Structure 1
């Protein structure tokens, strides 16, 4: 079946009422990073009780689906009914609650893979990567709940939520981050895996000390390191596709496109907050409606850089406003977010501006955070301007 026909079929699944009745369909992701719990505002304690701590069960369901789907790698028959049964009984309701579009994409991929209307490997990657995008939002929900628990003096409850985050990190996020660390040859302070683990350790320390402010700062280290792994995963498929086209190898372009698309779904709402047009274009580029042979790695990288730089600028503005209001705790958290978004561009900075400029940026970032924490607004402004000047050179 031609690629254009596959795209039309998949798009039709997403645009027509083929999903189960009663599904909650989100027409648009929030531009700011909001968890399901934050965006849907469950009513206090009763609703918190409803949010079962089911990471282990859900990851098992995901792993079982993945194991069945990966039979195709050995030219074995895939039991699509089994995949569908696992999804509908174990995951569908949870995914719908977080983002109806995620569930529609998974359902469409299962249906298309089963009928043969969608290439089976494309279907497999969509199911895998979109589900991983769902898990990213789940951890944000647990992070938000843990922060609220700690503010309310419920350290034990916060610890339970963090156990869920740690489980997801170990079984979903770190394996993805390891692949990107390897691909981009990142180690030490540049390693996404090390930053995820470092953030988790700092968060646990904050819980042990009942320090809600530090917890909110350090959760940004964990969250944005995971975010970076999704961004760099998607970006890497732009690079792999361009290389494959250049070498005349077009057999797996649609598969890689589906992987890039799936990882992007986790963060596209947030990216829109940095540059909506860039985020929209990235989604169009990786959409199955687009011919993957036309994907240009430099264009993909440029769009990601534009959106992430926009995120950094946004947090620098927020920090200034927070300091003016005397809201130091908020300013510290926003500064850490800004710094973590800057760090996402480290590879680009080194490649385009050089190692020294990269060191200069992160020296200013450290000093900016320290000045913000010490309420030295004038000093913070100087470092902020230096940071943004370097990023503007990209």
Structure 2
């Protein structure tokens, strides 16, 4: 069987080789005759291995794509467009926008473009489900830990009172270790439970007042070597929310950024940018909003370590030695209580936290 060769078909397919979208050419029996480099990359297979495979062999539900090809041939439309979720055994589902165009001799040219919006919605849905499960787990664990901690601390205090005077100084050191560690764990538990205890105090919020408050607090702690640049959209309206919670959420992110910039602060070129914009027609937690606040907190630090990048909002996950791993968890909780969410993109030299909140 003669397999397709790019050198042989160079003239016919030259215009498709550099396309960013994936292109497949199938014959009258829905067997793959050609795949451009983007398609090879999407399907994680070479043209040689794809050649002569049928659409049904490429995808578990390839019959949907085959039906699209058949309709294209039968009706001779200029093209047929459809959103598909193509299933591949043991791999992630491909959410694509497909365009099928009929050619000569029963051939069909299929263009596949990743459906970025659907991917984003699926990612948000998974994140929200995981976030809710984490909150329930942490809340239950915190309550289970809290009661024994009180007993341990009380027992250590009683033990200290019963120590014989002769050995008091020698043994008191150990009881104090127990008491102090119990207090430390109590503080940690209180921080885990804090977002669920405090009432939601709603009032008019100006996001730039929030940013300015955070900016002054962080610059007071890092007066040298750090610049915090403003890039505000003054047209953003006030909205209803809990100002103190939002200050804490933004402060946690900016403070984390400042700590990650320790090396650049020492060199004197550390920078954090606070950028506000209006986003339009945005979907948050499956709800469509006409307007939303789009707040970016950008730093020029080393970036988030790849091994924790997907888990940074989970409780007790920290990229800094000695960190509690609660700052971003609390920030995400406070933002979610305002029907919003936080996203993050990071690479060496640039980390961008994006807070999205619905606007009236």
Query: In which range does the TM-score fall when normalised by the shorter chain?
Result: under 0.3
Higher strand share: 2
TM-score (norm 1): 0.20
- Higher relative contact order at CA 8 Å, sep ≥6: structure 1 or structure 2? 1
Q: Which has the larger radius of gyration?
A: 2
Higher helix share: 1
